[in-house]
Structure 1
């Protein structure tokens, strides 16, 4: 990948984009270091904490990779050893950089770390933070329904991702963002990949629809209506008015 820098130390392998961050080292992937520098500007409140930090070239999101499921209750953040290129952070780094270069609205990756110890590794990723953005789940919870034009934009953005052959393994209302200009962004590409066209494209849309219906059953104030899906599909299919 163009512009990608790499280095290996006794403790870890690092990848980074020098236009986004100066050469990173171990402290850059430790929230405590950013706190000591007084450069933490926020954090997420999801299943696993992501830290928003102030970098030299702009704000970034620091995410540590955790395991899910029953195995995750034991190993937490430890993954069975595999090559650097196939590791969680490095795969997501490569995919994000390719998508951004292709013009898709995703955050650019800044740096990734692969730390091996024995037969396991741990991984971290730094990506650019999308300014003045909120996920559509939070927007619909706090502000009510999105208008049809926004749903059409969401549909068109998902279609653009699919047309590039990108499968999103967890497409839901928490990883679709809108910025202050109502531009749609897609995030969270862990375990995602490029694929040939197929049934997965429809299944991806159905997964998003299930997530919207699920949130509505959990929260009466969630601003989702079944009629919104028609607007999404009009955007996805390119049948909305220009």
Structure 2
């Protein structure tokens, strides 16, 4: 990732990767403008709405930051003002860039926007689209993964933990597999780097709970204790490999 470039216009601050975008425009973050100009190629619905777009030959994902929980019922997408570098989008933009430099399979950040609104701000993030990638939950709803697949997932999580990255919402929908079987990790909002600790096991426990919830909703889900055991084996092997490579 090249050194981050900064674009300023009125109430907007945009950080972007000049290797990916030769120029930047606040309208890149406007789904209506993207649709009217033919750049919008699709979208997803649900709690984490995202839009897919193509601009200057680059396929990207646009995500707006929405409030969750009880607060989100009353304040949809406003966050209390703070320094730009500490804002949600810029924090995730920076973390993604750093993780890619360390070799972790995460989306490449393209641009992040901070928009002042009085005492509040709104935030957006543009990332490079991972081609032909689907959530783990969708894969195992249709077919069984091999033992090697589960071990590979565990190894990637071990790599993330070895780097000291806490994924605040590690679940079976934030782990993707592409057409080649490569494992990707996504959605690093509110994530951070930490020293080793109990959080690593807690992170794995969170993933196990998410798989259990999917299994409860869909008893035919292709996930068993043996699969989880393979993931943990891959995690342990990955952790050992990371330590030995130091």
TM-score, length-normalised on structure 2? 0.94
Query: Structure 1: which 5+ residue stretches go unaligned?
Result: none
Deviation at 1:145, TM superposition (A): 2.0
Distance in 2 (CA, whole Å) between partners of 1:235 and 1:162 is 13
Deviates most, 22-31 or 192-201: 22-31
Deviation at 1:40, TM superposition (A): 1.8
Alignment of 1:74-89 (within 5 A): 74-89=74-89
Name the counterpart of 2:217.
218
Give CA-to-partner distance per residue, 1:159-186, whole Å, 9 cap, x none: 0000011000000000101111101000
Deviation at 1:74, TM superposition (A): 0.8
8 Å Cα contact 1:21-1:55 kept in structure 2? no
Deviation at 1:191, TM superposition (A): 0.2
Give CA-to-partner distance per residue, 1:30-62, whole Å, 9 cap, x none: 011111121222212331320011122420000
Deviation at 1:3, TM superposition (A): 1.9
Query: Structure 2: which 5+ residue stretches go unaligned?
Result: 242-246
Name the counterpart of 2:49.
49
Aligned residue pair count: 239
Give CA-to-partner distance per residue, 1:58-91, whole Å, 9 cap, x none: 2000000001111111110000111101100000
8 Å Cα contact 1:158-1:236 kept in structure 2? yes
TM-score, length-normalised on structure 1? 0.95
- Match of 1:220, SS state, is coil
The question of 1:69 aligning with 2:66 is answered no
8 Å Cα contact 1:152-1:234 kept in structure 2? yes
Name the counterpart of 1:189.
188
Question: Runs of 4 or more off by more than 3 Å in structure 1?
Answer: none
Distance in 2 (CA, whole Å) between partners of 1:48 and 1:151 is 25
